[in-house]
């Protein structure tokens, strides 16, 4: 089968690998749609693990089932998540499934979503594979995992209806945050970026206010928000961190959603940031199985218009170009790139 073997953002190779063999309790998935995630092009995060096959935003068909599986059969349309929790540790029992060691380091696909077929381990089959609802395409279903992550983030940040939201960075995660915030009843939703194409997409996703990075963002936010800053600021690009710490209203929350550059620090004196402001800084990582279930429901109901973010659909042989595009967004009008391993170029 064909796979995309990742060495660096500029060196992704179409290679051949054997179709994985499955064991008891496992599934073989024929991958139909696999999205390129922003984390897939974080070279510093991948450099000690290369070469490897990436891809974790997947949807497809069950090609074969291992012994003991009763929930699925060949031909079923499914979406799967690569990271699942143990459900028994201190963190899981406290509702913190996404910091479970099993989720963080113990589960994965074989070899990865940028392949014609992948093996889903038994623990993932048990709690990380979900039927695709009727009326939902494979492409839409591939958004289950990234939307689950976004949902988990807004839950951690305790977004409430009517609150104002500022999303800093309007790449794929930022656009999903815009769409979800609107779906969850936020008041003013503003989005900022330095790329006009992305700001156009943010408006399509429901943003009430779009702000270019060169604008006086704080001034424009106050003018549109009855003199106040944002109740919730969501950082989807680390270059906006200094602004985020200035753009949050007293009593508000800053959500660190995107991974930052290696060695990045918080550029703010403690007293200026916290004393008498009562702001909260929080973070999030991944999504839990319950978030995946909710994400699929939101997609089924078209509450978050995920397909509006798709700009490119590529055969697996075109995958290297997709990685180059996603890693250099200022050079390309691209946001979400979907790799279709079963498609002929």
- Distance, CA of 274 to CA of 252 (rounded, Å): 11
Encode pLDDT of 165-212 as tens digits.
999 999 999 999 999 999 999 999 999 999 999 999 999 999 999 999
All residues at 6 or more sequence positions from 39 whose CB lies less than 8 Å from its CB, including other chains: 45, 259
Q: With 90 as the cut, is the pLDDT of residue 315 above it? A: yes
Domain extents in the chain: 2-148+287-340, 158-283
* Percentage of the chain exceeding pLDDT 70: 100
How many CB atoms are closer than 10 A to CB 315?
A: 16
- The CA angle 326-152-281, to the nearest 5 degrees, is 90
What is the CATH number that goes with domain 158-283? Answer: 3.40.50.720
Encode pLDDT of 263-287 as tens digits.
888 887 888 788 889 999 999 999 9
Give the mean pLDDT of the chain. Answer: 95
Q: With 80 as the cut, is the pLDDT of residue 325 above it? A: yes
Annotation: CATH topology of 2-148+287-340: Quinone Oxidoreductase; Chain A, domain 1 (3.90.180)
Q: What is the mean pLDDT of residues 330-344?
A: 92
Closest CA to 257 of 327, 157, 334: 157
- Distance, CA of 68 to CA of 66 (rounded, Å): 6
Q: With 90 as the cut, is the pLDDT of residue 119 above it? A: yes
Q: Which pLDDT score, from 0 to 100, does residue 286 have? A: 94
Q: With 80 as the cut, is the pLDDT of residue 77 above it? A: yes
């Amino acid at each position: 089968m064909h796979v995309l073997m990742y060495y660096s953002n500029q060196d992704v190779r179409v290679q051949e690998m054997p179709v994985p063999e499955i064991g008891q309790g496992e599934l073989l998935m024929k991958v139909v749609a696999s999205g390129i995630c922003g984390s897939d092009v974080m070279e510093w995060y991948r450099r000690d693990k290369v070469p490897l096959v990436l891809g974790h935003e997947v949807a497809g068909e069950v090609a074969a089932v291992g012994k003991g599986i009763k929930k699925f059969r060949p031909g079923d349309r499914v979406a799967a998540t690569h990271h699942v929790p143990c459900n028994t540790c201190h963190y899981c029992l406290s509702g913190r499934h996404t910091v479970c060691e099993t989720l963080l380091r113990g589960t994965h696909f074989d070899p990865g979503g940028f392949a014609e077929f992948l093996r889903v381990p038994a623990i993932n089959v048990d709690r990380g594979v979900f039927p695709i609802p009727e009326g939902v395409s494979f492409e839409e279903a591939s958004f289950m995992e990234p939307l689950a992550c976004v949902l988990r983030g807004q839950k951690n940040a305790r977004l409430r209806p009517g609150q104002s939201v500022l999303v800093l960075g309007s790449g794929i995660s930022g656009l999903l945050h815009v769409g979800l915030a609107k779906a969850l009843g936020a008041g003013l939703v503003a989005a900022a970026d330095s790329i006009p194409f992305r700001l156009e997409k943010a408006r399509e996703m429901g943003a009430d206010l779009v702000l270019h990075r060169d604008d006086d963002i704080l001034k424009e936010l106050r003018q549109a928000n009855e003199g106040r800053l944002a109740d919730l600021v969501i950082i989807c690009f680390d270059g906006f961190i200094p602004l985020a710490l200035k753009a949050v209203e007293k009593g508000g929350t800053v959500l660190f959603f995107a991974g930052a550059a290696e060695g990045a620090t918080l550029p703010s004196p403690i007293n200026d940031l916290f004393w008498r402001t009562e702001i909260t800084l929080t973070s999030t990582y991944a999504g839990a199985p319950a978030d995946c279930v909710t994400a699929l429901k939101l997609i089924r109901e078209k509450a978050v218009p995920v397909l509006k973010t798709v700009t490119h659909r590529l055969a697996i042989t075109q995958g290297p170009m997709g990685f180059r595009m996603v890693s250099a967004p200022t050079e390309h009008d691209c946001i979400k790139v979907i790799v279709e391993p079963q498609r002929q170029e």
